[in-house]
Amino acid sequence: MPQPGKPQRIGAVKQITSHSNPIVKEIKGLVSQRKHRTQSGLFVAEGLKLATDALAANWDVRYLALGPEARENPVAQKAAATAKARGALILEVNTAVLSAMTRKDNPQMVVGVYEQKLVHADDLKPENTTVWVALDRVRDPGNLGTVIRTVDAVGGAGVILVGDCTDPFAVETVRATMGSLFHVPISKMPKDRFKQLAASWPGTVTGTHLKGSVDYRTVDYQQPALLLMGNEQQGLEDDMAGACNCLIRIPQVGQADSLNLAVATGIALYEIRRPHLEL
Ligand code: SAM
């Protein structure tokens, strides 16, 4: 679909058989190094499902690499035709080249390279949204990907990455989102900018804290809600906890010190969104 205001590129098909092809090296760099992703504004998502999700959600695709199996698969063929019509370079590769690109022994039959998209802090409008989840210095890509997937599942508005967080466009994060990355807006901001946002937030700003005095099931969550989750090791810093209207706790029995970050996010999100979720 033509994108208004964007020059139209003409797509093409290219066969690659050599591991030392510059495009293969570029994709390898995007898989393994955050620096390359940041500099280029590109990222890699593996698999046909993610390719169809990305295309359905109109993300810009730069390359779509198809292994031998994909060239026999009608869904992959359709994805390739759509990507090419939108200006992507379609790479026909063998399994060894796919393995080299992805640094995996058993690569998926389709590997896509897409342009990153982030919501600028100034464009984040709380009005008419449901719940934004803010993650303070999240470190684990699996946790981040799982949170993005859960935000998608509950109809949340998006995810805010506060401070020094793991890369939302790392291959492990993208994989853990199971395609939800293409449907959930992501914003990044430093701590001070987040505190400004929290101070002007029109609904409830809820922090989750192991010392929270409020049972998470007793709050009347005013939407738009803003749910703040702490770092895996250190939890929420005092000033971040101070930016919240209330600090909730999820009751625990047993010997576990705390819940996993993504599990705690899921429990809180389902409570916040409970009145709006039906089978
Ligand atoms: N040692 C850390 C601490 O003292 O907070 C543990 C952090 S925990 C693994 C990661 C985050 O998950 C916490 O900062 C909090 O946001 C959330 N969390 C985990 N268990 C929770 C609980 N029982 N109640 C509320 N939030 C919880």
Model pLDDT for residues 78-92, shown as the tens digit of each residue: 999 999 999 999 999
CB of 268 closer than 6 angstroms to any ligand 1 atom = no
d(CA 144, CA 174) in angstroms, rounded, equals: 9
**What are the CA-CA distances from residue 160 to residues 32, 199, 216 (Å)?**
24, 15, 21
Q: Which amino acid is at 225?
A: A
Cα 97 to its chain centre, rounded Å, is: 26
CB of 191 closer than 6 angstroms to any ligand 1 atom = no
Provide the residue range defining the domain that includes 191: 121-277
CB of 249 closer than 6 angstroms to any ligand 1 atom = yes
Check: complex ipTM more than 0.85: yes
Structural domain contains residue 2: no
Are 127 and 265 part of one and the same domain?
Answer: yes
| End position of a domain, from candidates 98, 115, 132 | 115
Mean of pLDDT values over 206-214: 96
Q: Chain-wide mean pLDDT for the chain? A: 95
d(CA 174, CA 166) in angstroms, rounded, equals: 12
Nearest to 173 by CA among 150, 146, 152, 151: 146
Cα of 152 vs centre of ligand 1, distance in Å, is 21
| End position of a domain, from candidates 58, 93, 115 | 115
Instruction: State pTM to two decimals.
Output: 0.95
What is the structure's pLDDT at 5? 47
Bridge partners of residue 186, in order along the sequence: 159
Mean of pLDDT values over 224-230: 97
Backbone angles phi, psi at 167, to 5 degrees: -80, 120
Angle between helix 22-32 and helix 95-102 axes, rounded to 10 deg? 40
Structural domain contains residue 5: no
Structural domain contains residue 197: yes
Structural domain contains residue 134: yes
Closest ligand 1 atom to residue 230 Cα is: 14
CB of 229 closer than 6 angstroms to any ligand 1 atom = yes
